[in-house]
Structure 1
């Protein structure tokens, strides 16, 4: 049984057909030629176009299932000549180099274009032009010479359009460049004077669907000789798999989608030709050619036009690579400089942000932000800090681990529309998503006026059967659109160098973390040595000190009556000095061990704790026959280690008592208050005070202010207080006026925190 292999694409067209239509197996060819497909092993005819009868006087019914002889038996073309060509093509897989083969068939000159697909050899016959090809050869030679010269790319593109027009004789030849979203723009045009210009017009991506773009990468030249002709169906014998539609991916006669035919008719085009422009194997653009009347261009002329386009593709690749390499080299140099800065400074922040070359210089961005260690470091023009915080929080929810980039940030993150003037484009590398650490680069909005060739939205109509049908637009009048919320796209070079910078930063961070581990190990060793030293101080030094004190007391007791007054005073100074030394040793031991003592947090009864300290201080001070009053205000509870908190208030209250000795009516007041987050206590006195200019060394170990020189002390007490407060994750601050007052304030978190 003889069956047609036509695809359903030539019947109803619904909304899903445009992107999914299998255009490589339409089941039809164009009417200006005919097609025969043979099995490669025995040259038996398995597919044939219906119009074959018009060219060789044999119907499809007569030919299907027959050997090649049946096709040529009634012509002057020897079967052996064709068979020899097919055998060479099979043996050497040299189809593209061999095409076309010129034959005379039934009084006409024909070009035979052959190729093999799977186990089928597909023969396509087209009319051969009898005019000489000298002009084509001359134009190709000129194009080759021009590409080798130092012409600008713009000139090369425009001259390519002109030469292709001269070769094929079409009314209009356009060079059409694709953007990242696959919509196209006419960037060069050669046309007849009476035609309106299309230069600068944009065409939506839907004009050339995805599957068509894929075919353009494989089959570089396509021609539609007559939009108004009726395609010829392809027939096959219904035997097993042979009844499947013939794959016409590499065909030169393949019919096109009815939607595209309707599109061309709406434009007033009767013949069309397209030539692919590739960059690194991907579709960069098209040379799109239109003619107002049917026009066939034979295979050699099409190949000449293709060669000119391939020269342009080579120039595109060379010039673009040259430009990209120059840009890449520059930003790579900057990245290497930044890496050297980071290593030299041993500081990520300084290396990235505080040199003449910063992180901003590895892209063409206008602003950058380093988000590191809960701090924002800005370079150039960037959104405000709250906006950047919003971006980083959003990035934390996005599914990427290394790099993120977009030139349409407001479309993905609507809040960005508020600052699109500085950040419509975003490139981000994640240093640590868990810690919310990133380097961000921003590009501003580029407001563009895009002129479309007609409204880019395809109209939908409802047929009598209720089915929705999609049709190409009928009007191609200029349709202006303002494009917002987009930036200049990110280059591959920018992304790759940003990734390299990320690796360099993380390496330094890792090395610093390793250094911290080593320092911790050294610190542990130092603590062990300090323990040994503390034991030496407490044992080896305290023992001879006790002996000195003991011997001095014995001498004073035994020789007391015989001593003169000067000698007695000297021995008393020995006793006082040994007591001060014992106190100093005791404080040093406490300070050194305090940092490693485990805290035991409890809710403390502050009235009870403070009253015990007050009683101890008053007992000591009353022996000195002085007037001292210690007052309490509000005393809220705090969470802390009982021993350490006792030490804090003992030091502060004792200092206040000591430094009010010269006051006529000495007063020390302790008062507490609560906020939402913490409990704050103040210890205030009316003692000698101090100049705030000297406050910087208040908590230094063994440091004492000048006006305290005449008062007993070791210079360790406030250092101990500061260390205890730090262990409790609290704060300490102070204010003083000489000879008037001093106030120390300390705060503790309301809830205990892990130190």
Structure 2
């Protein structure tokens, strides 16, 4: 019999946003925004309209109103206002009567449809109580000195609002396992505070929905969901997407999970930090319980207060850490410039390489010697580690809090080196700067065994079942350190640039490069000749012949053929532009650098004007701050700043209010310019090869580009003996810094 196997990631594939059902305590319809005709409706809507649902599909939405006190004209006006303003927040909920009882009408628009949801209203109005609870929550946010107090107060406050038996504040870790960090519960329940839950309990697609729809209520796990019926002829491959619907039905797997826990009703409220899911307020009740829209919004507001407090406090802490790291980095830079010995500058002054990160030990491997600071592995272990790093596919840096998972021998020195942050100075010369963090042994108490049960059905199908046991189960976690922060990584990358700048000025930097450079220049010359002659000529012919065919026979072509000819000419234009960039890149390494004073204000204003013309039709602001002049090659300076600003313009196109800030400042040694944007940003941990030719980060692939622009920028900076570094976070924009020395003669280098 063949061995059965199962891919646990299959749990992540369940289409929980298009289950085709809603919870039975409310009604739902979906209408077209132009005609307000009904294309989808929940089957239980028959209770409201007094006839089978199939009879209203394809008809106007006002057919739903005969049992309500809502006039058809009022409903149409509400829909007109919401659709016209592309905002439904001020309209939802709309209070109405159905058979003399109060209901809420909640609207939203998604994927080209307007969704209307009817929900009952709590029979006992709580507006005054909710207002008081919000006021008390605001006071607690302001008065809580410790985050632990704030978490506990929030759990208690949400429990008061929704009346559930148990309310937990649940925090995600980097691997998406969860940890209960605060709890308010009924006296008869056992505590869950401190328990951990595996990432598989809340799969990836559920976490994505928590970012879209911040409040999720499951009123009763045993209630029968109502199917959604669609207008005749509606495409089967376009099911109704309920990502933002409050009535969205529940995955059968999750229902089984809740029943295994003994939970009859649940509610989850998302906690976001910088737009990403930080945790949840998770609520359980032993019996079915409906929470009306007003109470849910009150609980949501309390959670948003907590999210705002988290962001404010974390931002304040991060800013302090960044400032401290910046000061230490500046001190190290000054030491590197003042001291001819790189190793002495990094390890023998009042500020050392150990001070710029949160590591507890550091080793500089340089000139066949190890310079050791703090608590680090022994010399032989570091030598073997460097040998492994030389074979690993890293080009700029590597960071990990579980070094032994990448390099098994690290278990032997986990007491001082479970975590490592490494920057590459020279693979050819086996030169690195390594920081280490010690093991943090953790005793993790899980709510039951983390693994999901795998069962085989009667027809031999493999099924992953929800966990049935939630009894406390303790695990000892070894060989793991505290995580490295974004500030740690940014400081290490900046220090690498500072070190390489100094090393470049010293003779030992060219000891292995002369022969390689000569061979590279010869290959580059041959490549440039091939590009300029063997590629551009046939491209010109392709475009020329296409234009002749269009001119002579264009009227005979159908639209599809004309579109194909246009694609041919567009492709040749893109190819010619790419060739032009490559030629510029190749020639730049051989051309003389002719420096002169550059009026940066004039140069940047010209670049701004050109980009705003190119990007017209969108909201884009390019602000210029201080613009100190600098000594540089005019052509190269124009190319450098054009690439940086146009990149910023490109990667902010998804932002409806795109902003770019360009500013410079003068120090004793450098003139530093920064180009900041509020675009898509990138993960610092994945950006190690961004300056290589034709390399593009994964999140940049939807935007057109050749992967040459930043390589050109890096080469221009190198020709001017300057530096370039960056600071970014996904979806939080990016800042690129370039510095030009104020006194160095770069001509001819």
TM-score, normalization: structure 1? Answer: 0.65
Contact kept in structure 2, 1:236 and 1:242, CA below 8 Å = no
1:21 aligned residue: 14
Aligned to 1:78: 71
Q: Could you tell me which of 454, 460, 468 is aligned with 1:460?
A: 454
- Taking a change above 3 Å as real, the CA distance of residues 257 and 516 of structure 1, as seen in their structure-2 partners, is closer
Displacement of 1:151 after TM fit?
A: 2.7
Matched with 2:256 is 262
State how 1:268-279 maps to structure 2 within 5 Å: 268-279=262-273
1:171 Cα deviation (Å)?
Answer: 0.4
Kindly name which structure, 1 or 2, has the bigger radius of gyration based on alpha carbons.
1
Question: Could you tell me how far apart the structure 2 residues matched to 1:16 and 1:322 are?
Answer: 37
Conserved in 2, the CA contact under 8 Å of 1:443 and 1:488? yes
Indicate the residue corresponding to 1:199 in structure 2. Answer: 193
| Equivalent in the alignment of 2:27 | 34
Is residue 297 of structure 1 aligned with residue 291 of structure 2? yes
Residues 326-352 of structure 1, C-alpha deviation per residue, up to 9 Å, x if partnerless?
122222211211111111112210011
Contact 2:144/2:150 (8 A) holds in 1: no
What's the Cα RMSD here?
1.8
Partner residue in 2 for 1:69? 62
Unaligned runs of 5+ in 2: 1-5, 515-749
Q: Is the 8 A contact 1:14 1:469 kept in 2?
A: no
- 1:440 pairs with one of 430, 434, 437: 434
1:96 correspondence with 2:89:
yes
Looking at structure 2, the residues matched to 515 and 409 of structure 1 have their Cα atoms a distance apart, in angstroms, of 30
Q: 2:118 aligns with which of 99, 114, 125?
A: 125
The offset of 1:210, in angstroms, is 0.7
Asked whether the 8 Å contact 1:153–1:319 carries over to 2, the reply is no
TM-superposition CA deviations, 1:605-634 (whole Å, max 9, x none) = xxxxxxxxxxxxxxxxxxxxxxxxxxxxxx
Q: Which residue of 2 aligns with 1:218?
A: 212
Aligned to 2:133: 139
Change (3 A) 1:295 1:150: closer
Please, which of 39, 43, 55 is the counterpart of residue 48 of structure 2?
55
CA contact (8 A) 2:443 2:477 kept: yes
Post-superposition offset of 1:242: 6.9
Q: Is the 8 A contact 1:58 1:71 kept in 2?
A: no
* Change in CA separation of 1:383 and 1:108 when aligned onto 2, cut-off 3 Å: same
Q: Is the 1:15–1:468 contact (alpha carbons within 8 Å) kept by the matching residues of 2?
A: no
Distance 2:123 2:459 in 1: 50
Which of these residues, 443, 449, 455, is aligned with residue 443 of structure 2?
449
Once residues 167 and 491 of structure 1 are traced to their aligned partners in structure 2, the CA distance between those partners, rounded to angstroms, is 36
- Alpha-carbon contact 1:29-1:233 (below 8 Å) kept: yes
Residues 136-181 of structure 1 show CA distances to partners (whole Å, capped at 9, x for unaligned) of 1111111122323463222111111111000000000000000010
Distance (Å, rounded) in 1 between the aligned partners of 2:144 and 2:67: 56
* Aligned equivalent of 1:347: 341
**Residue 115 (structure 1) aligned with residue 115 (structure 2):** no
Q: How does 1:668-747 map to 2 (within 5 A)?
A: none
Give 1:493's aligned residue.
Answer: 487
CA contact (8 A) 1:182 1:204 kept: yes
Displacement after TM superposition at 1:74 (Å) = 4.7
1:175 to 169, 172, 178: 169
Structure 1 residues 85, 511: CA separation in 2 closer, same or farther (over 3 Å shift)? same
Conserved? CA contact 1:448–1:483, under 8 Å: yes
Q: Cα deviations across residues 58-105 of structure 1 (Å, max 9, x unaligned)?
A: 321111111112222354432112111111101111212321111101
Q: 1:288 aligns with which of 278, 282, 295?
A: 282
Q: Secondary structure at the match of 1:241?
A: coil
C-alpha distance in structure 2 between counterparts of 1:515 and 1:73, whole Å: 84
Q: 2:416 aligns with which of 409, 413, 422?
A: 422
Partner of 1:364: 358
Give yes or no for the alignment of 1:409 onto 2:403. Answer: yes
Q: Deviations over 1:524-563 (max 9, x none)?
A: xxxxxxxxxxxxxxxxxxxxxxxxxxxxxxxxxxxxxxxx
* Cα separation, 1, equivalents of 2:144 and 2:160: 23
Query: How far did residue 397 of structure 1 move?
Result: 2.2
Whether the aligned pair in 2 keeps the contact of 1:174 and 1:186 (CA below 8 Å) is: yes
Aligned 1:618-629 pairs, distance under 5 A: none
Could you tell me which residue of structure 1 aligns to residue 382 of structure 2? 388
Q: Distance in 1 between matches of 2:98 and 2:278?
A: 40
